[in-house]
């Protein structure tokens, strides 16, 4: 933890230099093995159900300490080994050295070419280079953003808050009260963002764009002194990281608003606890203090929405059964909710509230829930 604190105080340039050194060390280690006539290898922590556990105290899905050795001279490994080194070379030589960031797709195109003397490409599909990127992340014990790689940005926000953003050396102060109907797009890398002039009392994260637009039109964030955000489906890394930073730095509660179905609940759990595939990043991306505002299956009854429900599909049932077994869904409240869902087999969208009237959500549902502190853990 001490090392992390130090890192936090570092400037962007110092952080980049640290990764540069880590990649160099990795390379030197391989050169050493080659010169000793050994089979060069990378130590890559295993990401998978067998090496993932739930840390109940930290409220995080964590990566275990199982490590796989990936050897250059092993037919099953050599291609991926090569791809991982291509990623390392690109990050160090092209991105860090020039202080540039790139998308995963940029990297894919930059490193894809036909291997001399063969008909084989270094990378066939982007998912291969994406996988190699994660390999490098975990073996350097760092994360994608530090490698100057960004995913497609996703998510928008508006609220009584100002942020400072930086594009290379240019700094912009953005007033999130003045973002019009569309809101401010959350960038894919948010490490450089600073929060200023916060007047927010909480953050409301909606799964759906439509809800953001509804509440923005209703001036919900202004009337309630909060920050409104949409993740537009499964939350992207930028949005998750930003939520965590707001939670930690501004110390305000964060409430999630999703459809009443297993898919929505899983989006919530990913934001809160992290995910299995990115378990190595839970510490950085998880938001353990987040609370679930709605919608739950019990909301359907409580708010008299039975007439506007959707019948659950087999895949929803299966997903719910799986989720019921996850350690991070083992609280009695969630178990009861999931059981209720499995019993009723009914889903509801947030927009179902519009069946009462268009502003029912901003004037009745949300204030009602927040005042009563009617949340799920």
Partner 1 sequence: MAEKKAAQEKETEKAPSRDELEKSFKEYSVAEFFKKNRQMLGYSGKIRSLTTLVHEFVTNSLDSCEDAKILPEIRVEISQLPDEHYRLVVEDNGTGIPKKNVGQALGKLLAGTKFSNRAQKRGQQGIGAAYATLFAQITTGKPTKVKTGLGDGRVYECQVSVDVKSNEPSITDEKEYAGKFKGLRIEAEYAEVGYNRSEYGSYEYLRRTALANPHAQLSLVEPDNQITVFPRASKDIPNKPKNVQPHPLGITTSDLMDMAQVSSARKISSFLVSDFTRVSADKVKELQSLMPAVDLERAPKALAWSEAEELVKNFQKVKWIAPETDALIPIGEDQLEKSLKNLLEPEKLKVVERKPRVFRGGIPFSVEVAIAYGGKSGQHVGDARKGELTRFANRVPLLFDAGNCAITEAFKSLDLNRYDLKEFETMPVTILVNFVSVYVPYTGAGKLAISAEEEVVSEIKFALMEAARDISQYLHGLAKAEEQERRRLIFFKYIKEIAQALEDVTGRKASVLEPKLKKIAEERTAFLEAQEEGDPDAEKELEDIEEQFEEEVKNDG
Active-site annotation, residues? 109
Stretch of 88-96, 190-198, 250-258, 315-323 lying at the interface with partner 1 (CB under 8 A): 88-96
- What gap in Å lies between CA 208 and CA 193, rounded to an integer? 24
Cis peptide before 242 (omega within 30 of 0): no
Distances (CA, A) of 146 to 191, 284, 294, 333: 9, 12, 34, 38
59, 95, 101, 130: which one binds partner 1 (CB under 8 A): 130
The reply on whether position 124 binds partner 1 by CB under 8 A is no
The reply on whether position 86 binds partner 1 by CB under 8 A is yes
70, 146, 241, 369: which one binds partner 1 (CB under 8 A): 70
Stretch of 85-93, 219-227, 311-319, 334-342 lying at the interface with partner 1 (CB under 8 A): 85-93
Query: CB within 8 A of 18, min separation 6: which ones?
Result: 7, 10
In the bound state with partner 1, the residue whose beta carbon lies nearer, of 277 and 310, is: 277
In the bound state with partner 1, the residue whose beta carbon lies nearer, of 150 and 214, is: 150
DSSP structural state of residue 50 = G
Q: Say which residue the tokens 């007439």 belong to.
A: 307
- Show the site string, 7-26: x = touches partner 1 by CB under 8 A, - = not: ----------------xx-x
In the bound state with partner 1, the residue whose beta carbon lies nearer, of 21 and 167, is: 21
- What gap in Å lies between CA 247 and CA 288, rounded to an integer? 9
Dihedral angle of Cα 168, 173, 174, 177, to the nearest 10 degrees: 170
The reply on whether position 68 binds partner 1 by CB under 8 A is yes
- Show the site string, 248-277: x = touches partner 1 by CB under 8 A, - = not: ---------------------------xxx
98, 118, 181, 373: which one binds partner 1 (CB under 8 A): 118
| φ and ψ at residue 249, rounded to 5 degrees | -90, -35
Distinct helix (H) and strand (E) counts, the chain: 15, 17
- What gap in Å lies between CA 26 and CA 31, rounded to an integer? 9
Cα 87 → chain centroid: 22
Task: Using CB under 8 A, list all residues that contact partner 1.
Answer: 23-24, 26-28, 30-31, 34-35, 37-39, 41, 44, 46-51, 66-79, 81-82, 85-86, 88-89, 92-93, 104, 115-118, 120, 122, 127, 130-131, 134, 151-154, 233-234, 236-237, 275-278
């Amino acid at each position: 933890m001490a090392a992390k604190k130090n890192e936090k105080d570092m400037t962007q340039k110092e952080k980049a230099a640290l990764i540069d050194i880590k990649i160099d060390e990795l390379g030197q280690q391989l050169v050493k093995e080659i010169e000793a006539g050994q089979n060069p290898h990378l130590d890559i922590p295993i990401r998978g159900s067998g090496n993932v556990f739930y840390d109940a105290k930290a409220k995080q899905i964590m990566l275990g300490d199982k490590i796989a050795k990936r050897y250059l001279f092993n037919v099953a490994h050599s291609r991926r080994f090569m791809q991982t080194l291509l990623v390392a070379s690109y990050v160090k030589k092209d991105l860090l050295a020039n202080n540039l960031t790139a998308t995963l797709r940029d990297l894919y195109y930059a490193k894809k070419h036909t291997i001399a003397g063969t008909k084989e490409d270094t990378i066939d599909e982007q998912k291969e280079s994406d996988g190699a990127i994660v390999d490098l992340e975990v073996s350097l014990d760092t994360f994608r953003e530090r490698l100057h790689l960004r995913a497609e940005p996703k998510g928008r926000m508006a609220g009584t808050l100002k942020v400072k953003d930086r594009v290379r050396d240019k700094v912009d102060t953005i007033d999130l009260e003045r973002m019009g109907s569309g809101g401010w797009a959350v960038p894919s890398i948010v490490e450089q963002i600073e929060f200023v002039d916060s007047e927010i009392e909480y953050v409301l994260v909606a799964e759906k764009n439509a809800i953001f637009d509804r509440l923005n039109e209703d001036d919900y964030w202004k009337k309630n002194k909060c920050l409104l955000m949409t993740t537009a489906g499964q939350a992207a890394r930028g949005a998750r990281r930003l939520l965590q930073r707001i939670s930690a730095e501004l110390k305000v509660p964060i409430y999630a608003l999703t459809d009443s179905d297993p898919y929505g609940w899983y989006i919530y759990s990913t934001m809160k606890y992290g995910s299995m595939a990115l378990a190595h990043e839970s510490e950085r991306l998880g938001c353990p203090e987040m609370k679930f505002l709605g919608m739950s299956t019990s909301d359907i009854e409580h708010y008299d929405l039975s007439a506007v429900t959707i019948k659950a599909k087999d895949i929803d049932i299966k997903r719910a059964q799986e989720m019921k077994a996850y350690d991070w869904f083992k609280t009695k409240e969630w178990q009861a909710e999931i059981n209720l869902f499995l019993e009723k087999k009914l889903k509801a969208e947030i927009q179902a509230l519009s069946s009462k009237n268009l502003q029912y959500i901003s004037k009745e549902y949300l204030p009602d829930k927040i005042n009563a502190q009617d949340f799920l853990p």
